[in-house]
Amino acid sequence: MSGKYTISREDWSLHRKGEIDRERHREKVKEAIKKNLADVVSEESIILSDGRKVVKVPIRSLDEYHFRFDTGKRKHAGQGDGNSKEGDLLGSDQKKADGPGKSPGAGDEPGVDYYEAEITIDELAQLIFEDLGLPNLQQKKKPELASEAFEFKDVRKMGISSNIDRKRTIMEAMKRNALKGGIKGTYNITRDDLRFKTWDVTFKYESSAVVLAMMDTSGSMGPWEKYIARSFFFWMVRFLRTKYQNVQIVFLAHHVEARETTEEEFFTKGASGGTRCSSVYKLALEIIEERYSPQDYNIYAFHFSDGDNLSSDNERCVRYVNELLKICNLVGYGEIEGPYYHASTLRNAFKKLSDNNFTSIGIKDKSDVYPALKKFFHNRNESKA
Amino acid sequence: MHPTLELKALDEATEKIDAIARNFNLDFYDMYFEICPADIIYSFGAYGMPTRFSHWTFGKAYHKMKTQYDYNLSRIYEMVINSDPCYAFLLEGNSLVQNKMVIAHVLAHNDFFKNNHYFKRTTKKMVESMSTAANRIREYEFKYGRDRVESFLDSAIAVQEHVDPQHHISAVAKKTEGHEEHGCSVGKCSHGQCSNKHSQGASPSPYDDLWDLDQKECAGKCGGGEQREKKFPRQPEKDLLLFMMEHARDLEEWQRDILSIIREEMLYFWPQMQTKVMNEGWATYWHMRIIRELDLTGDEAVEFAKMHAGVIHPSRYTLNPYLLGLKIFEDIEKRWDNPSDEERAKFDRKGNEGKSKIFEVRESENDISFIRNYLTRELIDDLDLYLYKKVGHEWKVVDKDWEKVRDGLVRNLYNCGYPHIVVENGDFGKRGEIYLKHIHEGMDLDVFYLEKTLPHVFKIWGRPVHMETAVDGKEVLFSYNGEKVSKKFI
């Protein structure tokens, strides 16, 4: 006897529910990240990502909360290979130190279950930069060098078949069919319907920017302070790259004397001794003079210190910063405030500066990096831009 | 293979498998198979049902499953739905042997849906019900705004597990209880009277002493207090969703409807969660036996063996329900076919009853009773099952003793692995606040999650929420007043 059964194959191409809700989830992830930018911006896994394109951002607000047992406290059941015994080690949480999700058997291992969104650094940068603007954009002298660029902005009836414009071609076929009173949905595409995307050759002028990253490396600047500076410069450079084709960074470290260093040295090596900030400003001015003519370059100077400057030096600092302001698009000073209060002499001294292009920022905490970025790059002359 | 040829081959195979299954006395609803592309199968997997309403949490699940599929980490070969006719979706690109195994597997699931006692009350028209519910929710989105509906769904989903699958039983009990309560409130209730009432009409049963336990409690309360407080609800209510749906004061109609949708869908899925081990074990048991009856070529046999091995692959961190269920069914069959002398003497087992026994088990048990009654010491040793726990930063095996392992398993399955929470008081402090109580069975709640879930209850109930539980042996009351969570020791 044979029962009743049916086998069929339907057209599912219009079933989009999964994709639609997936998109909604993605939107929520983005919203959550945006709300959380202050924490995300200085997330170590991103700043120290070593060029990885995709980073993981923990998002607790998208956990699906419900009443549940504490996985860490309860007993779970598992199955061995035949000779397991009490005390056998199945896994360890400490492995998480070298990157979440890397522990063996991740996925079915209990415990690690908060949601991590994967996001490319570019997407993240877009979110961060949404509110940032470049103040004081000056027209620099057009550099001699212009590069050829291709832009697809035209549509023609002839072309290479790899450049076919599907949407327009279908539209043409629909139009033609409709004119003839043709049946809906059946398009025999004729040669006449074909549309091709075509390019134009344009010239792109190189615009360049240079970031003068200055940092106090005196004894009081520990790894944490350097990390803060590092996350700030990380995003600053990325942001400027969205605006200029060519962004260079010059690293200047100083204690009593200033010198140019490599990036690695800049963020890792510490020196000791006192602090004389004017030394680094002086060096910055010299380097600009030598290499980066303000006519060709947009110059951004930013200095991190803990503010413990020799008081006798403050006067000179203000003078140099005033000079920098004449040639730079922006000059910033970030003071990393230690756990205990001390009246900073340098930041007070800078209060005299009234120039619109000077920003001074106090940073106490990892989460202050994002507000600092926002303050530094807020659109001062939006109306003009 | 050309699609139409493929369909034809599949059709022939299905006819054979169907006949073999019937020969084995499997008893199933008519089948409706459909071949779907991967993203469709995965969306069904994420939603639990193709026609279910739309929500970002399903999108999240879909994304996760799809990604795993895209990276070739896991694969769902089929998805089957408890309905009449029974729907099953086959993954496009399955080979013919894969489909044969899947079809055999699905027929056994179908038999289980049709015959297992716990599925008796599930509607067989859920595909349609969910579809109309989804339409209603979409209308609400148009009417009241997507964000409002979404955030209310967020809250309803946060407490969706707190339903009472036995509600039909307690509902009957409540009716009888009504009279009794009436008697109590007049203050005439005494122990004698109450027990009298129970024995009236019914002949004495072996459970009378259990009924009496209830009475004692009742008598104590009634006799002791002159101004006895009117309790609301009268008995602690496990069905939090139903309770809030009926009694939350400020809910709008569409919100009550959403609660009822979530509740109905949870009640529909509950038996599947309750019988996961059995259901998968049963399907695996039968796909093996059915495939053995088919004439497979050498290559096909190897392919089947590979796939089957993948299905019953053990895991160190969780129990594979396919494997555990299969082993228990096979063990039952063996022990009822060839009982030991002791079993013959003690339990009057005659032998050669294996098949009829496993059919009886598939009809009358759920995972808890299945494991408690049939997971033997020998099986636990043979399968090398253990309990493990977090010790410091490490996950370690902590129990190998067979009784502890079995009981640990049962404990984790209790209430489908969700905490048992009841409504103690729906008018706490006479301020209309809701007081929930976690019935603590030795496992603490995740406090972080608890604190994040209370606001969802608040959102539905509309007034402050309290939850009594115990943390590290101390009784604690968590409260949320609309602004912040506070906790105090009781």
Flag if B389 and A91 touch (Cβ within 8 Å): no
Q: At what angle do helices B56-70 and A17-35 cross, to 10 degrees?
A: 100
What's the pLDDT at A1? 39
Spatial distance between the Cα atoms of B278 and A18, rounded to a whole number of angstroms: 30
Q: What is the 8-class DSSP label of residue B186?
A: T
Which chain A residues have a beta carbon less than 8 Å from that of B85? 4
pTM of the model: 0.75
Token couple for B455: 């606001």
From CA B148, how far away is CA B382, in angstroms rounded?
53
Nearest chain A alpha carbon to B467: A67
Selection from A235, A273, A238, A233 nearest residue A251 by Cα: A233
Best of A30, A76, A96 to disrupt the B interface (most B CBs within 10 Å) is A76
Q: Does A30 touch chain B (CB under 8 A)?
A: no
The pLDDT confidence band at residue A53, using thresholds 50, 70 and 90, is low
Which of residues 44 through 103 in chain A touch B, CB cutoff 8 A? 62-94
H or E segment to which residue B436 belongs: strand B433-438
Q: Please determine, for residue A361, whether its predicted confidence score (pLDDT) is greater than 90.
A: no
Q: What three-state secondary structure class fits B123?
A: coil
pLDDT of residue A112: 44
Which secondary structure element, helix H or strand E, spans residue B89, and what is its range? strand B86-91
* Sign of the four-CA dihedral B58, B61, B67, B70: negative
Peptide bond just before B464 cis, omega within 30 deg: no
Contact present, A78 and B386 (Cβ < 8 Å):
yes
Q: Which residue of A has its CA nearest to B438?
A: A67
**CA distances, B128 to each of B82, B131, B133, B254, B258 (Å):** 12, 5, 9, 20, 16
Cβ distance of A17 and B314 shorter than 8 Å? no
Distance between CA B487 and CA B252 in Å, rounded? Answer: 30
Collect contacts of B68-75 with beta carbons under 8 A, ≥24 apart: B69/B38, B69/B42
Where would I find the beta strands (DSSP E) of chain A?
A: 5-9, 54-58, 76-79, 89-92, 116-120, 146-156, 196-205, 208-216, 246-254, 258-261, 297-305, 330-336, 358-363
Q: Identify all chain B residues contacting A72, using CB atoms and an 8 Å cutoff.
A: 390
Residues of chain A in contact with residue B42, where contact means CB-CB under 8 angstroms, are 18
Residue pLDDT tens, chain B, 490 long: 677 888 888 999 999 999 999 999 999 999 999 999 888 888 888 999 989 999 999 998 898 888 888 877 777 888 899 999 999 999 988 899 999 999 999 999 999 999 999 999 899 999 999 999 999 999 999 999 999 999 999 999 999 999 999 887 766 666 555 444 443 333 334 444 444 444 444 556 667 676 666 655 554 444 444 455 678 888 899 999 999 999 999 999 999 999 999 999 999 999 999 999 999 999 999 999 999 999 899 999 999 999 999 999 998 888 999 999 999 999 999 999 999 998 899 888 988 999 999 999 999 999 999 999 999 999 999 999 999 998 888 889 999 999 999 999 999 999 999 999 999 999 998 999 999 999 998 899 999 899 999 999 999 999 999 999 999 999 999 999 999 999 999 8
Q: What percent of chain A has pLDDT over 90?
A: 2
Residue B335 zone, left/alpha/beta (φ > 0; ψ -120 to 50; rest): alpha
* DSSP code at position B33: E
CB contact under 8 A, B388 and A81: no
DSSP state of B229: P
User: What per-residue confidence (pLDDT) applies to B113?
Assistant: 96
- Rounded to whole angstroms, the Cα distance separating A53 from B380 reads 47
Query: How near does any CA of chain A get to the CA of B348, in Å?
Result: 33
Yes or no, beta carbons of B446 and A77 under 8 Å apart: no
Complex confidence, ipTM: 0.85
Six-digit token string for A354:
């009234």
CB A247 within 8 A of CB A297: no
- Residue A119 CB contacts under 8 Å (≥ 6 apart), including other chains: A29, A33, A54, A55, A56, A57
Q: What is d(CA A116, CA A328) in angstroms, rounded to the nearest whole number? A: 40
